[in-house]
Structure formats: C-alpha cells, structure tokens
Amino acid sequence: MKIRIALLSAFLWLCSGLSAGEVEVLHWWTSGGESKSVEVLKNLMEEQGHTWKDFSVAGGGGESAMTVLKSRVFSGNPPVAAQIKGPSIQEWAEEGVLTNLDQVAARGQWDSLLPEVIKHAMKYEGHYVGVPVNVHRVNWMWVNPAVFKKAGAEVPTTWEEFAVAAEKIKKAGFIPVAHGGKPWQEATIFESIVLGIGGPDFYRKAFVDLDQATLKSATMDRAFTILKMIKGYTDKDAPGRDWNLATSMVINGKAAMQFMGDWAKAEFTNAGKTPGQDYLCLPIPETQGKFIYNVDSFVMFKQTRKEVQAAQNDLAKIIMEPKFQEVFSLNKGSIPARLNMDMGGFDIYGVASMNDFLAGSQANTLVPSMAHGMSTTPAARGAVCDVVTNFYNSEMSAKDASTSLAQEIQAAY
C-alpha cells in the first residue's frame, strides 16, 4: 500500500479547504449504544469551539469503513481523523501520512497512563501516531438466565457443558445461540474457541506469529469442530444478521446466549436491562482467566491549516481525558484504556473486565484479537476470516479447514 507523493500533495491541498476547526471523523459506530458514544465525543469537541463532521460507515468490525478510507486516501481526500486500530496504524504511519501526537502525549503523560500493550499499538518507531479510546474484551458470553431456567439448563463453563445445555434449550423451544452469520462474527467466536482450548501461547503462535505447524495442528482441528457444533444450535435465519439484532434475541428471550464482545452490553443497557439479573455476562466456555482485547483508537491525517491541526490536538487530548474515557466506556460497554481510573461508576461486569485486564497484563494472558484486526495484518486476518466462514458454511472437514488455514495465510504473504 504505497501512496504516491502526488496523491499526498493533492490531499494536503484539498484539506486546506476545510473550515476552521472542522474535524471530519470516519468511524463505524452506528448501533444504538455506539451512536450514543459518538455523540459524547462530538459534544466535547463542540464545547472546545470545533465543528464535528460525522462520517459514519455502517458495518460491524469496520471492514466497510476501511474500504472507504482507502478509497478516500487514494483519491486524495482523506478524513481529518479516522478510527483505525492494530497493525493498520503502523501500515498507515509507514506511508508518512499520519500526524505525530508526541507533544499531546507528553502533556497528557500518556506513557505513565497506558498499559504496555496499548502503548505499543499506538506507536510507530517510538512515536505516538494513535490515541486509544477504550479496551474491549472480545471473549464474552451473554446469557438470558430466564431462558436457561425455563429450559432447566445450567450456564456452561466448558464446551462439553455447552452441548448439554444447548440440547435442553433447543428441546424447550428456544434458540440456544443467537448469531449473525457474517465472517467477522464467525471469526470472533472462532478465536475465542482457539484461546480456550489452546491457551494464550498457542493463540499467539497461531494469530500473531502465524506459525504453520500451529495453524494445521490437532488443536486447531478441534477448534473447527467446536465451531461447527455451535452452528448446529443457531437458527436458520442467522446468515447476514447484524450482531445487535442477534443481541436483541437474547434480550427479548428468544435466544439463550450470544458469543460477542462487550460492546453488546450497550444494547442491554439501552433496553433497560439490569446486569446480574436480567442478563449474565461470563467468559466464553474455557476462557476463564484469559482475555482477548480489542482497542478502539483514532489516528489523525496530516493537515496544513493550523486551525485543523489544533482541532486534531484537542481531539486527541479529549479522548485520553478521564471524563471521556469513563463516559464513553459506560455507553459502549467497554473499559477505559488509561490506568488508575475510578471504576465506581461501572457495573459488576465492567469492574470484572478491568480486574481481568490488569491481572492478565501481569500474568501475560492478554492476547490481541485476530477477528478485530489487533493481532496481525489485514491480509492475514482476511485469510483467516475467509477460511473460517467457508468452513462454517460448507461440509468441509475440520482437518481440511486447518490445512486450508495454513495455506491461505502463507499465500497472503
């Protein structure tokens, strides 16, 4: 992805036509809870005298937004700020088109306020080019306890227990697993299965190191087998369903559980549901004490107008301030990216997530999400998602899927 000097010059010229302090922000937060979170950031920026120009691109996981971003940059007209995360931050920084945020970071003491894994993700060649918004835990299971009670089933902690519970729920006339049949959602479940049965070291070898022997191992075969088992407990209308619609099935008592990141909590909150009573939130089976993280973050594209540069600095500063970190995560269902935050306003699951995150950072059990673009390049992630969804929607054997996984990732490089 090399951007020609001519295109860079063109977009700098085009950006000079922006109004004073106007910040066009590209993001993919479009569901109910997500939209509320964006509104918080917009209001804080407008309080500073800047103009917020919203550029939202629907599509969970951000695939559509990243396609649009590339189109805008290659056409010489990028947004002022964009929601980007993981290795994609370094890829854009390598092109020399991102704003250096070191001065803002120094004034805000980011080095002392951010966990090591997050600092590493926000920097390129030792310089800050990204600002973290929050930390999501991906490996959550959302449960409607009333459905489990009606079915006489126990909430599972292992995949063996899951199969027993799912059978009872199905016989009771409920959908065991609410699912949206889209590649990123299937990859989200798959990576949690891999972490649970393989452990953090196995996960890193597979989705960070892209180790060929690990990718086609017997453990990976088992992960694919479990994924196919889960499909048998979803409904026929799952293909193409949005994740938040699947969440509403759990909220409304149509389904018993959903495997989804903590952004799903915002949907329960918006529906007026009480944590620990109306719904339960637990680690996906066999991932207790393990944490797959997904960090939302923003980068700023280089600008020539000082007014817009000032707006970018204010945006980065506001994102890292305690007020925004708390309010945003409370709306979004996540936890703050910065350390030493007062968690008094968070519910039991927010506190549990923060405690697990801090413990995981000490025990080295934190792993970056592959499905959400944190662990590897977009090319490798795309290869994994393609294989996983092809397996999920075909009669391919688990062994063939593991072999294909290794081959497709190797071909992506």
Q: What pLDDT is recorded for position 233? A: 98
Residue 207 scores a pLDDT above 50:
yes
Quote the pLDDT of residue 18. 42
Q: Is the pLDDT of residue 32 over 90?
A: no
CA distances from 381 to 229, 235, 299, 345, 353 (A): 23, 27, 21, 35, 25
CATH of the domain at 40: 3.40.190.10
Range of the domain at 288: 140-292+362-411
Judge residue 343's burial from the number of C-beta atoms within 10 Å of its C-beta, 0-12 exposed, 13-18 middle, 19 or more buried: middle
Shared-domain flag, residues 251 and 348? no
Q: Are 325 and 368 within one domain?
A: no
182: Cα separation from own chain's centroid: 15
| Residues in contact with 161: Cβ distance below 8 Å, sequence separation at least 6, in sequence order | 154, 285
Domain match, 70 and 25 both = yes
Which of helix, strand or coil describes residue 395?
coil
Give the residue-averaged pLDDT of 58-71.
82
Q: 115-170 pLDDT, tens per residue?
A: 999 999 999 999 999 999 999 999 999 999 999 999 999 999 999 999 999 999 99
Instruction: Give yes or no: residues 226 and 324 share one domain.
Output: no
381 in the same domain as 235: yes
**75-125 pLDDT per residue, tens:** 888 899 999 989 999 999 999 999 999 999 999 999 999 999 999 999 999
Query: Does the global pTM surpass 0.85?
Result: yes
* Same domain? 351 vs 373: no
Q: In what order do the strands lie in the sheet with 255-259?
A: 175-177, 255-259, 140-143, 280-283
Average pLDDT over residues 366-381: 94
Asked if 308 and 80 touch (Cβ cutoff 8 Å), the reply is: yes
In this predicted structure, what is the pLDDT of residue 203?
98
- Is the CB of residue 356 less than 8 Å from the CB of residue 281? no
